[in-house]
Amino acid sequence: MSEYILPLERLIEQFAKLPGVGRKTATRYAMAYLDWSKESVDTFSDVLNEAKTKIKRCVVCNNFSENDLCPICMDATREAVLCVVEDPRAVMSLERVREYKGRYHVLGGVLSPMNGIGPEQLKIKELLSRLDKENITEVIVATNPTVEGETTAMYLMRLLKPLGVKVTRLAYGVPVGADLEYADEVTLSRAIEGRRELM
């Protein structure tokens, strides 16, 4: 369905490579891009190039980093607790809370046999090697509460438990501030299951 002139078709095709972007949205982005000033376009291009060269992965936790070690892994005051997450976005969400004082380990995805992602594609070997090296006392599995995140959490539990390390999972329940009416059934059932005695 080549409708526009070729360079515009190619431009649309490139924007359509972004996640969740179909042809219609890609066309919208392309039109907007063509309206940008020369300075805007140059900055866009420069920043994208710079990002690809400057943004690396921390060799310890696999989070984004400008240096070999990320600021969190370099911070000696961080407790010997390891929070295992899927991607760097989860690290940011948890850091925003300013309550957790431990370290992180970014898996780089979740187990997904359908997409050919097994344990070897995730940073699991690296996770195991940190347990001893860093004298980790607890691993908090904080993969997302999706089917694949759950499967990955189960896999990690079974892998880590025999090693004698304490393994925990984030609590499920009704989101604070939300109305019970809008909570889905699975969440509600988990909230009942995980109920705590008031003291």
CB of 16 to a copy of itself, least distance (A): 11
| 77 DSSP 8-state letter | T
| Helices and strands, counts by H and E, the chain | 8, 6
Q: How far is the CB of 144 from a copy of itself (least distance, A)?
A: 14
CB of 136 to a copy of itself, least distance (A): 25
Q: Considering beta carbons, is residue 95 or 132 the nearer one to a copy of itself?
A: 95
Binding site for a copy of itself (CB under 8 A): 3-8, 10-11, 13-14, 17-20, 25, 27-34, 36, 38, 40-41, 43-45, 47-52, 54-55, 64-66, 70, 87-89, 92, 95-96
Give CA separation, 34 vs 11, 12, 20, in Å. Answer: 10, 11, 21
Whole-number minimum distance, CB 109 to a copy of itself, in Å?
10
Separation CA 89–CA 180 (nearest Å): 27
Report the residue number, 30 or 153, with the smaller CB distance to a copy of itself: 30
Q: Which is nearer to a copy of itself, 20 or 162 (CB)?
A: 20
Helix (H, G, I), strand (E, B) or coil at 121: helix
- Classified as helix, coil or strand, 167 is strand
Residue whose CB is less far from a copy of itself, 108 or 127? 108
Q: Which candidate, 81, 153, 157, places its Cα nearest to that of 110?
A: 153
